[in-house]
Amino acid sequence: MASSLKVPGPLLALLFPLCGLLVHSQNLSWREFMRQHYLSANLEFSAYKCSDLMKDKTAPTDKNPHTFVYTLWYKIEQLCNRNWRDRYRNIYIWTHYPFKVLQCYLDQQRKSYRERRTYSYIEFHCGKNGYVDSIEDFRLLEELKKKM
């Protein structure tokens, strides 16, 4: 009887890290969204260039234009919060405040990127895991001119 009680301990010890991987894997779409679309506010917005971003971020080339959002990361993370302990899941949410947006258009003839900088309201999609996983739509507030 004592030997049967020793088995669950090591078995649970082996399964515990797998449970952690399962929890973290549910946020992969959030991580992927941030990797492909988020621009850190640590740099000036005008410092970001489409040609560099499309190489560095390994953004998908099948989307034209590709969109980047310039803000503090927690403003995107907080969008799907319903209240202090619950998150919206599988719905679309318009932001209450505008974001700076950089859109990169692939110019097929020149093999380079054209940029469009705007200040826009954005409609995000909150995925099944309760985190933003895509950008759905924009409402243009104003076009931003590039500072030289």
Q: What is the pLDDT of residues 88-138, one digit of tens each?
A: 899 999 999 999 999 999 887 777 889 999 999 999 999 998 999 999 999
Whether 114 is covered by a domain: the verdict is yes
Domain that holds residue 102: 28-143
- What percentage of residues in the chain have a pLDDT greater than 70? 75
Give me the percent of the chain exceeding a pLDDT of 90: 50
Q: Considering only CA atoms, which of 138, 70, 146, 148 is closest in space to residue 115? A: 146
The CATH number of whichever domain residue 108 belongs to comes to 3.10.130.10
H/E element holding 66? strand 66-70
Query: Could you tell me if residue 23 is inside a domain?
Result: no
pLDDT of residue 19: 43
Mean pLDDT of 6-26: 46
Residue 4 lies in a domain: no
2 burial class (0-12, 13-18, 19+ CB within 10 angstroms)? exposed
Mean pLDDT, residues 14-18: 44
Query: Is 91 within the bounds of a domain?
Result: yes
Residue 127 per-residue DSSP state: -
- In total, how many domains does the chain have? 1
Q: In this structure, is residue 88 part of a structural domain?
A: yes
Q: Does residue 98 belong to any structural domain of this protein?
A: yes
16 pLDDT higher than 60: no
Length of the chain: 148
| Rounded mean pLDDT, 74-78 | 91
Asked if residues 125 and 132 have their Cβ atoms less than 8 Å apart, the reply is yes
pTM for the model = 0.75
Question: In this predicted model, which residue has the larger pLDDT, 68 or 8?
Answer: 68
Distances (CA, A) of 105 to 2, 51, 58, 90, 129: 68, 10, 15, 29, 30
Amino acid at 94: W
Per the domain annotation, does 81 fall within a domain? yes
- pLDDT tens for residues 17-26? 444 434 444 4
Is 60 among the domain residues? yes
